[in-house]
Amino acid sequence: MRTWSRRVAVFTSVLAAGAVLAACGAGGRPDEGKDSTEDVVGVTEDTIKIGAHFPLTGVAAPGYSEIPSGHKAYYDYVNANGGVHGRKIEFVVRDDAYNPTQTSQVTNELVLKDRIFAMVGGLGTPTHSAVVDFLNGEKVPDLFVSSGSLQWGDDVESKPQTFGWQPDYETEGKIIGKWVSENMPNARVGLFLQDDDFGEDGEKGVRRYLGDQIVATERYTSGNTDVAPQVAALQAANVDIVLGFNTPSYTALTQLTANKLNFDPKWFYSNVGSDPELVGSLLARFSEGAVKDGSSLLDGVVTTEYIPGVDTPDDPWVKLWQEVWDKHGSGGKLTNYRVYGMSQAYTFVQALQSAGPNPTREGIVEAIEQAGKEFDGPALAPFRYSEDSHMGISGLRVSELSGGKANPLTPVLTTDIGDAPIVKDHSGAASDAPPEDGIPTG
């Protein structure tokens, strides 16, 4: 476990830096003697209002619509325990149906009508791409985007308000590519890619290690549910393993299509598309009941993990999330998507704690840049936050699915974009446990 002394030291330095800026009237912090909430959008003496866009309806709603319920459950838990610096968190969620045009509309409402302090966890590569420039232009903190696109963290100069959270797709692709090159060095590799940054970034990482092993590359457009041409092309290329950078619906569609074609390669799906319970339910629905136990079709599928999931109920973080959900959940059971939402919410609360008792938009961005590398939490690998990088979690491990559970095949591995090497993580991040009250201190 990372030492508390390091975290306290960093936290102290952030507070000291904030005090200097406050004394100078810089960084948007209020001057001494001034009402601490005056002119800070979304902040009152008792509350802080944040918002997000999620697909609550539409093709992407299965699974993804559960993420904001995890956020809200954790914020309600924090609020019930006194809030953050005495303020309760209000979380406003608007439905964009995974439609970029609608994302723009609801984001305008969140910023201009609801007057949120920050966007937290807005979901989707194509959807958030439609609003990221607007948020940065309005100087709204755009925190912990629910997507692994490189654009959320690799160009701080052009997007100074935006931070990623999960491992970026290039980092994940590198680790996937290296695992395949080491464990299936003679395999013919096929790629199945979403036709946007998700697929492009994943392919970029994979190609750093596989080179001539890739014999076929097929892409799909989200919304087009006929993947038979792509799967048939992969079969015709006689591939031994398919690497899929796709959403859960397309994991189900590729499995059903491959089954019809008697195509049986090894499958390796990125973390985004590999939740056994959700994919299993989609398989049952898409097959109109022909598939009874859809999750069993994923036995033997290889994937990645970067936070503990519901298949590890004895993990201390999952125990906390179960307690939070039992007390403040909105119905149904704890799922991996709700765990994802709670995990993001924990990071936001930690950032808000680090920003101090008089939070400003500029102050929370600065706090993440200065202290974010030392944030603890359920992530298996450390964050990469700094003034030069707003990239999120730095690594993950490779696992194989069996009986709805993920069985690790590697230790936690970390890297960065570009030529950074892949190494075993020695930070101790995977050993972090939540504080006794389940609330971070900064």
Domain ranges within the chain, ordered by starting residue: 4-167+310-393, 169-305
- How many residues in the chain? 442
Tokens of 172: 């994940």
Amino acid 158 reads S
Q: What is the pLDDT of residues 282-322, one digit of tens each?
A: 998 899 888 877 667 889 999 999 999 999 999 999 999 99
Question: Which residue, chain included where needed, has tokens 């973390």?
Answer: 271
Q: What is the pLDDT of residues 362-382, one digit of tens each?
A: 999 999 999 999 999 999 999
What is the 8-class DSSP label of residue 379?
-
Tokens of 214: 């890739």
Give yes or no for residue 401 having a pLDDT over 80.
yes
Q: What is the CATH number of domain 169-305?
A: 3.40.50.2300
CATH of 4-167+310-393, one of 3.30.2350.10, 2.40.50.100, 3.40.50.2300, 3.40.50.150: 3.40.50.2300
Alpha-carbon distance 347 to 407, whole Å?
Answer: 26
| Backbone phi and psi for residue 134, each to the nearest 5 degrees, phi listed first | -60, -45
Which of 151, 164, 181 lies closest to 268, judged by CA? Answer: 181
Q: What is the pLDDT of residues 108-154, one digit of tens each?
A: 999 999 999 999 999 999 999 999 999 999 999 999 999 999 999 99
Tokens of 175: 């680790």
Q: List, as one string, the DSSP characters of 271-323.
A: GGG--HHHHHHHHHHHTTTS-S-GGGGGTT-EEEESS--TT-TTSHHHHHHHH
pLDDT band at 38 (very low <50, low <70, confident <90, very high): low
Contacts of 29 (CB under 8 A, 6+ apart): 18, 21, 22, 358, 360, 362, 363
Q: What is the pLDDT of residues 174-188, one digit of tens each?
A: 999 999 999 999 999
Question: Which residue, chain included where needed, has tokens 């590198």?
Answer: 174
Q: What is the pLDDT of residues 76-107, one digit of tens each?
A: 999 999 999 999 999 999 999 999 999 999 99
Beta pairing partners, 401: 406
pLDDT of residue 5: 34
pLDDT band at 258 (very low <50, low <70, confident <90, very high): very high
Q: β-pairing, 413-414 with 395-402?
A: antiparallel
Which of 47, 30, 46 lies closest to 38, judged by CA? Answer: 30
**Between 237 and 20, residue with greater pLDDT:** 237
The angle subtended at Cα 300 by Cα 205 and Cα 196, nearest 5°, is 30
